[in-house]
Amino acid sequence: MPEAAVLCGGGDSLASDLRGISSGDYIIAADGATSLLVERGFVPDVVVTDLDGVVDDQVEANAEGTVVFVHAHGDNREALGRWVPEFRGRVVGTCQCEPVDGVFNFGGFTDGDRAACIISELGVRRILLAGFDLKRPAQKPGRSAEVKARKLRWAERILAMIADEGVSVEMLATR
């Protein structure tokens, strides 16, 4: 794992933030960010997903060498059964409970902060956030903006905990 990585979230700023990413950057995509990255010609090094984004794009990236961390929780059992067999490359299972053999609990709550927990645990010491707006969540059809805002408050706390452990967490624009 490199010393620094760009962690891409699904916020509205991702499209413009991509201008600050270079071909040599180590790129991590939090679930839905994968689609825009693939559309713009980026193959993420890592994808962290609970399979509620455009999973076909994640499968495509995995076939091109992306390592995919698939998160299992009570609400995505059907998606796990449907999609996990489609991944042909490297896949790592994650959970938020006591892990069983072959599944890991790195911490985190949303795909984005879970990705930060994973990469910091694996040795990344500087995380540059792209497509993250913890104060104004991107609106998604059929999703509650209020629930998303609460989730992002947890994400903010988790990112602060990672920073308290000595990992630099900053917005991409500040590099």
State pLDDT tens for residues 74-102: 899 999 999 999 999 999 999 999 999 99
Determine the distance from the C-alpha atom of residue 138 to the mean position of all C-alpha atoms in its chain, rounded to a whole number.
15
> What share of the chain in percent tops pLDDT 90?
85
Quick check: helix, strand or coil at residue 18? helix
pLDDT of residue 139: 73
Distances (CA, A) of 147 to 4, 72, 139, 157, 170: 31, 20, 11, 16, 24
Mean pLDDT of 101-114: 96
What pLDDT, on a 0 to 100 scale, did the predictor assign at position 8? Answer: 98
Residue 125 has pLDDT above 60, yes or no: yes
CB 42 within 8 A of CB 27: yes
CA-wise closest residue to 87 among 55, 45, 114, 119: 55
The mean per-residue pLDDT over the stretch 53-61 comes to 97
Distance CA 67, CA 88 (A): 10
- CA–CA separation, 15 vs 146, rounded Å? 24
Query: What does the pLDDT look like over 155-164, one tens digit per residue?
Result: 999 999 999 9
Q: What share of the chain is helix, strand, coil (3-state, %, to 5)?
A: 40, 20, 45
Q: What percent of the chain has pLDDT over 70?
A: 99
Q: Where are the alpha helices (DSSP H) in 64-172?
A: 77-83, 111-121, 145-164
More confident residue, 136 or 120: 120
Model confidence band, residue 16 (pLDDT cutoffs 50, 70, 90) = very high
Distance CA(117)–CA(124), nearest Å, equals 10
Instruction: Note the pTM of the prediction, 2 decimals.
Output: 0.95
Mean of the per-residue pLDDT values for the chain? Answer: 94
Q: Which CATH class is domain 4-174?
A: alpha beta
Confidence bin at 27 (pLDDT 50/70/90): very high
Q: For residue 145, what pLDDT is reported?
A: 81
The domain limits of the chain are 4-174
Are 30 and 13 spatial neighbours (Cβ–Cβ below 8 Å)?
A: no
Token pair recorded at residue 61: 């990236």
